[in-house]
Amino acid sequence: MPRSIADQTEDELGGPGSVLVRQRADHVELDRLLHELDGTTGRAQEEVLTRIDRLVFSHAFAEETVLWPVIRRVLPEGDELTRRIETEHQEVNELVAALEEGGPDSPERPARLARLVEVLREDVRDEEDVLFPRLQERLDPAELRRLGRRWELMRRISPTRAHPTVSRRPPGNALSGLPLSLLDRSRDVVDSLVRRVPAPLAPAGEALSRGLASVAAAVERTPAARRGDGPPTAR
């Protein structure tokens, strides 16, 4: 069996800038945030969840648009392997959307949080132990670094929030990525300001954030955003 990328040196993974090095760095940060989440409540829990969302969704979107098409091309079992990860990504999207809809007082919140942490850890293990070692066997270090630059560029312009109805595959994810990213990142700025402004000004910011969320939901429901997906991730 190929070695997990978790157990390899940076040089073995293709050197600085390799997509495998970049992926592992995000996974390390996610692990830190999940440990920080444990035991939090109230506003502190919301703050950590926000940071997890911003990391996870841009990371996964860049995977689905840049990495998975390459894996499906170079690995005979690539479609099966990426579909398994896409199913995990879909569940994360649905869990986060349910957490946001239910709010902090929902009786289902503890179970949803626990499942979210579980799925995120499963996703990391599937990628580091199964998917990426196989990709490593097919690409040389220079190719891994080129792929890393493309993935990093896409990550910087990817959506940062849950979008459960968007296709996990091209062309839907690629077509919806830019408008959703602009809307999500605008909401991120507005929500950050709402947390810092005096209380009387907060409702106006909250209304603006809800308006941006409504526009994003409309983008999600367009036929173009849903093209290319299939069972079990299609919604």
Position 233 scores a pLDDT of 80
**pLDDT tens, 9-60?**
999 999 999 999 999 999 999 999 999 999 899 989 999 999 999 999 999 9
Position 231 scores a pLDDT of 77
Cβ neighbors of 105 (< 8 A, separation 6 or more) are none
Position 148 scores a pLDDT of 98
Q: How far apart are CA 88 and CA 125, in angstroms?
A: 12
H/E run at residue 28:
helix 19-37
Rounded to two decimals, the pTM is 0.94
Q: Are 152 and 22 in contact (CB under 8 A)?
A: yes
76 backbone dihedrals φ, ψ, rounded to 5°: -60, -35
Which segments of the chain have a pLDDT < 70?
Answer: 235
Q: Are 82 and 72 in contact (CB under 8 A)?
A: yes
